[in-house]
Amino acid sequence: MVYETFLKTIQSMVQTRLNKKANVSLRRVLKNNGLMLDGLSFTKPGSRLSPTVYLNAYYNEAEEGMPLSIITDQILMVYETNPGFSEDICEELRDFDAVRSRIAYKLIHAAKNKVLLSHVPHIPYLDLAIVFYLILTDNEEGQMTTLVHSDHLALWDISLEELGILAEKNTPRMLPYHISSIESTLNQLEMEDIVETEALPSVALYVLTNSRGINGAACMLYPRVLKEFAESLGEDLIILPSSIHEVLVLPDEGTRKQRAMQKEMVEEVNESNVSPEERLSNSVYYFDREKQEVTLKGK
């Protein structure tokens, strides 16, 4: 089935099932790294909420032979069990005092997100960009978040500088950093039987992320984290971007051959093991413990 035909057919089938309980429309959403997703947006009469169910994965199921009636059932189940933001949360988004303690930051790739960055406040950082989001709910079921757009700054009457100061204060508090050896991390994920010990690097390798394991690459921005860890090792650091959710950290041995191999490894892992939406960068970063700064080029 042609993709556009699938989208319009599913929209029609879902709308028919819902009748007038909600209006169903097609919506394209720009995600990280320029990824565009197609979804169904649901709007109930008199409501300002429009939760979206993405359709890209369902198209793959249709191509594999799943009947559209069953796909329609699945979409409606997702919609009914995940209604999106409540009206109360929508009201809170307009009240800066109600959300100021929930503002956090994360890292994304700058060049791959030019269109997105034209609509959101951000701070350049090496080949990356610091962007901001609100953690609306955080519980055992997960987080509900929303990206801060330029319209929010106008609504809240605050500057980019004020936004950055709040995020720098809030993010480590809401999402404390966590650093552990790669072996310990694999064991916690019960992957020790999947990844052979011989395949791991011979040097000490550590995973830096946050307590949630979500957008944890931003922990490299936390004050004193890299400084204190470098001092504990007695070495400068190499930082390998594993994904937007974590980075790998290891002592810097300073050889050109080593650095070339590390860059190749990052590129290969990104291409083969990281989904396009979750890739951070193909670069290798260096932390100088004397200068206390991260750069793209080591000594």
* pLDDT tens digit sequence for 214-236: 999 999 999 999 999 999 999 99
- Minimal CA–CA distance to 241: which of 260, 216, 258? 216
DSSP secondary structure code for residue 46 in this structure: T
pLDDT at 108: 97
Question: Which pTM was predicted?
Answer: 0.83
Place of tokens 């699938």: 6
Q: Which residues of 248-280 are buried (b: 16+ CB within 10 A; e: fewer)?
A: bbbbbeeeeebbeebeeebeebbeeebeeebbb
Distance in angstroms (rounded) separating the CA atoms of residues 112 and 289: 30
pLDDT at 256: 62
By three-state DSSP, how is residue 76 classified? helix
Sign of CA dihedral 230, 233, 236, 238: negative
Q: Tally the residues of the chain.
A: 299
Place of tokens 């300073």: 254
Chain centre distance of CA 37: 15
Hey, how many other C-beta atoms are within 10 angstroms of the C-beta on 186? 18
Q: What is the pLDDT along the chain (299 residues), one digit of tens a residue?
A: 899 999 999 999 999 999 988 999 999 989 999 999 999 999 888 777 778 899 999 999 999 999 999 999 999 988 887 666 566 666 778 889 999 999 999 999 999 999 999 999 999 999 999 999 999 888 776 778 889 999 999 999 999 999 999 999 999 999 999 999 887 665 555 544 444 444 444 568 999 999 999 999 999 999 999 999 999 999 999 999 999 999 999 998 766 667 778 888 898 988 988 999 999 999 999 999 999 999 997 55
Q: Which residues of 91-118 are buried (b: 16+ CB within 10 A; e: fewer)?
A: ebbeebeebbebbbbbbbbbebbeebbe
Assess contact for 289 and 299: CB atoms under 8 A: no
**What are the strands of the beta sheet with 36-43, ordered from one edge?**
23-30, 36-43, 52-54
Assess contact for 41 and 51: CB atoms under 8 A: yes
Residue 162 tokens, joined: 């004020």
Phi-psi group of 190: left, alpha or beta (phi > 0 → left; psi -120 to 50 → alpha; rest → beta): left
Assess contact for 179 and 185: CB atoms under 8 A: no
pLDDT at 204: 81
By three-state DSSP, how is residue 181 classified? strand
